[in-house]
Structure 1
Amino acid sequence: MAQPSPGARRLTVAVVLAPLLAALALWAFAWPAARTAPRDLPLGVAGPASATSALERQLAGRHPGAFEIHRYDDEAAARAAIEDRTVYGAVVVTPEGPEALTASAASPVVAQLLQQAVTEQAAATGARVRTVDVVAAPASDPRGAALTASVLPLVMAGLATGAAVTFLGLGGVRAALALSGASALVGLAAAGIADSWLGVLTGDWWAEAGVLGLSTLAVAAAAAGLSSLVGRAGLGVVGALVMLVGNPFSGAASAPRMLPEPAGAIGQWLPPGAGASLLRSVAFFDGAAAVGPALTLTWWAVLGLGAVLLGDALGPRTASTESPTETREPVAVS
């Protein structure tokens, strides 16, 4: 039986690959969006023990599995927990009625959800709910849309930087310096746009630039590093990972705890999710809860740069172990 020609095989691969990639992209983006809901969302309750116990039971009854309750003695302790990013918000029981403490800078979606849940809870008793935004989102970006929109451009900048270093044939120390320098410039430019011009970031300017640059370097180094070890296919592997998984699983548009498991957890181990969390901490919370995402980005950057150096070191050694092609002089026949 005749085997298909190489052209026919390539055509078959292209026809099959396109719908598979489309299905993967649709699943990665649509599944978390369609299943967005609070899951063990950290929420504080403060006030007298008798009143807070009743409130906890009511919240658990109306919203089963939605909240992870943290108890605090008073409003000051609850506010401190919000500012430390221990909880997304809190409900304070007062003689005048419940008070909802939110943090729209942490997540406008969660802040609105919390306010709605407390309002529904108080409607049964006719009490009025007072809402206080403890850490408010900037007036120029009240819905957090600009911060969410920054995730994809940083990923694209990282992939472009890694691809440029790979296609230019840079290796070793020169590649590491190029990746670091380009990422630092991306961070400076992004901070200039987001903070100085648009005003959607309100933290320390240099810290924000560092976070934006580190987020870019994590992707760029991973792309260039894997390409240095396995060839240019490494660019496609890292690109698919951060674009089709890291971006929709980042939780930047809502919160990691709003995504179905394990999407929220996976997203925080990838550069887009870790970068978004770290940027919120630095821009709005004076660096609170920044250690985890900072370590994640650092590990991606260090491992990627290490792979770049390792690939450069293994290249000459591999070439030296290959036996050269022997050439023999033709023997003249007399």
Structure 2
Amino acid sequence: MPSASTPDHVAAPATPPDQPKTNAARMLIGVIVGATVLVIVMLCAFALPAVKGGPHDVPLGLAGPQQVTQAIQGRLPADAWEVSAYPDPQALQNAVKQREILGGFVFGADGVTVYTAGAGGQQVTAAITALGTTMAAQQQVKVAVRDLVPFPADDPRGAGFTAAALPMIIGGVLPAVLLLRLFPGHVNLRRRLAGVILFALVAGATVAAVLQYGFGSLDGDYWFTALGLALGMAALSVPFLALESLFGMAGLGLGAAVMMFLGNPLSGMAGPHWLPSGWAALGQLLPPGASGSLVRANAFFDGTGAGGPVLTLGAWVLAGLLIIIFADRRSARSARADAA
């Protein structure tokens, strides 16, 4: 019985001539939309804190006749100023130096004396000074301004300290990326970890030396400042390695983006009380903000207020170490399973 003849080959369905154009159009639209979203995210991350910036829950002290201090306290916005009364000027000055308050006013027979701590935050210091000057003008008395904790004379505006947040973030990302290139694979995980810790110590000492002795931007004990900077860089590098050990380079990239777009603008290097309270709290929980607060405490306030930032940065380092240990053991079990 004759069988039906079959063709030697089956022709593939023809691709519609307009399909390549459609794919190219979709890719173009995707690039445009993605780039636009990225620009908006960057705009919100860097511009919104500046737009919404202002005094938020700033601790402020008053000293003088009770009738005057009570009247002033009732006039100040509660969401901007947390006002405390002090029995005498000396108690108020001590509170400024111990970081209980960021500044204060003393009302006396000779006028109004404004006490500030410039190293505690330039923008808040300017706001306190302006407020005191306005009060003196309203009462038609003289005003005197005294900065109890100023920045060093070589950098009176604290420009070097304020600009240190972004280099610290780059100092956390760069060694992680370089060590991943030099020592790839899970077999080198511990070697990479040792490398980032060593880099943090060397870079912390170097950056502290440049800021303190080169730029004149920092005061205080050099070694405490250097160790604080090293801890801050380790709190970035170790979690970056941990994210890469779990999710590959995509995890490291995501971590770097979060620190760049959130950690940097919310770091509060110019003073955390200038940000809205929720944003300020978030910024101080991220390594750039905690590292800046630690350097501020060590360099200008003899370590007062350093405990919280040390705990925060230590928690980031510990979390990164635990994730790396987990990834290392998971890799070892996978290697043994493959060998079996």
| TM-score of the alignment, normalized to the shorter chain, above 0.5 | yes
Take 2:179 and 2:324, find their aligned partners in 1: how far apart are those partners? 10
Deviation of the 1:188 alpha carbon: 1.0
Aligned pair 1:23/2:23, yes or no?
no
Aligned pair 1:127/2:137, yes or no?
no
Counterpart secondary structure, 1:124: helix
Take 1:32 and 1:322, find their aligned partners in 2: how far apart are those partners? 51
The corresponding residue for 2:322 is 306
Contact 2:193 2:241 in 1 (8 A): no
Take 2:220 and 2:227, find their aligned partners in 1: how far apart are those partners? 12
The corresponding residue for 1:263 is 279
The corresponding residue for 1:209 is 226
Take 1:161 and 1:38, find their aligned partners in 2: how far apart are those partners? 37
Aligned pair 1:284/2:300, yes or no?
yes
- The CA deviation string for residues 25-64 of structure 1, in whole angstroms up to 9 with x for no partner, is 1111010011111111111112232221122123x2xx45
Aligned pair 1:147/2:164, yes or no?
no
Take 2:31 and 2:333, find their aligned partners in 1: how far apart are those partners? 36
Counterpart secondary structure, 1:207: helix
- The CA deviation string for residues 294-325 of structure 1, in whole angstroms up to 9 with x for no partner, is 1111111121122222211111213444699x
Contact 1:175 1:308 in 2 (8 A): no
Take 1:7 and 1:286, find their aligned partners in 2: how far apart are those partners? 62
Aligned pair 1:49/2:63, yes or no?
no
The corresponding residue for 1:329 is none
The corresponding residue for 1:65 is 79
User: Whose Rg is larger?
Assistant: 2
Contact 1:36 1:258 in 2 (8 A): yes
With normalisation by structure 1, the TM-score equals 0.89
The corresponding residue for 1:116 is 130
> In angstroms, what is the RMSD of aligned CA positions?
2.3
Take 1:131 and 1:150, find their aligned partners in 2: how far apart are those partners? 28
Bigger mean CA deviation after superposition, 25-34 or 94-103:
94-103
Take 1:229 and 1:194, find their aligned partners in 2: how far apart are those partners? 36
The corresponding residue for 1:243 is 260
The corresponding residue for 2:3 is none
Aligned pair 1:226/2:243, yes or no?
yes
Q: Where do 5+ consecutive residues of structure 2 fail to align?
A: 1-14
The corresponding residue for 1:331 is none
The corresponding residue for 1:169 is 184
Contact 2:231 2:313 in 1 (8 A): yes
With normalisation by structure 2, the TM-score equals 0.88
Counterpart secondary structure, 1:105: helix
Q: Where do 5+ consecutive residues of structure 1 fail to align?
A: 325-334
Count of residue pairs the alignment pairs up? 320
